[in-house]
Homo-oligomer: A and B are copies of this chain.
Amino acid sequence: MTAESRSLRSAHKPLAFDPIAEAGRQWATRWGETAVPAMMAVTSVMRVQQILMSRLHQLLKPFGLTFPRYEALMLLYMSRSGALPLGKMGARLQVHPTSVTNLIDGLERGGLLRREQHASDRRKTLAAITKDGREVAEAATLVLNEAGFGTEPLGEHDAELLTTTLRSVRVHNGDFVDNEDV
């Protein structure tokens, strides 16, 4: 593996051991084994999030998109009218109002959406996807679809297992009311 190809995946020489497992071993010797599984799970989520984000950014770079911007763009693409109030976008994307402003700023700079006035409530701002925005959304989605959203080497089963397990954390956090399986 050349230095260039490696730099696309990790900034360092591969370690000869699993750093998370090693942390777990050292941990157990000082604080016992009770919290080790939780500690390792948290660290794993943090690390894999970085890996996935990095892969997605590689895939989306040709379109001038980041993954958060892609998510925001797709939310508009999927919507009926192609326009949504910024507040509603924040609720769906589960991000802070400030983040919505920044995301929409970036997408508007790229001409993928326009800010528009809400008809009845002048406090509200609408984000409306443009023709360019729709084209980019479709092209980027094709690429992500083919690349399996960078989830290699996870199969369908593992992906669903992950979603299910993590869903309980999201429910417990109060993101949404769990009324699907009632």
A residues whose Cβ falls under 8 Å from a Cβ of B = 1, 6, 9-21, 23, 26-27, 30-31, 34-35, 37-53, 56, 67, 71, 74, 78, 90-97, 141, 144-145, 148-154, 156, 158-163, 165-170, 172-180
Q: Which residues of B contact A27 (CB under 8 A)?
A: 78
Tell me the complex Cα distance, A179–B180, Å: 42
Contact A94 B176 (CB under 8 A): no
Copies of this chain present in the complex amount to 2
Given contacts A34-B145, A37-B160, A149-B39, contact A14 B166 (CB under 8 A): no
The closest CB in chain B to the CB of A150 belongs to B42
Complex Cα gap A39–B166 (Å): 14
The chain B residue with its CB closest to the CB of A169 is: B48
Cα–Cα distance between A95 and B53 once the two chains are bound (Å) = 13
- CB-based contact A94/B16 at 8 Å: no
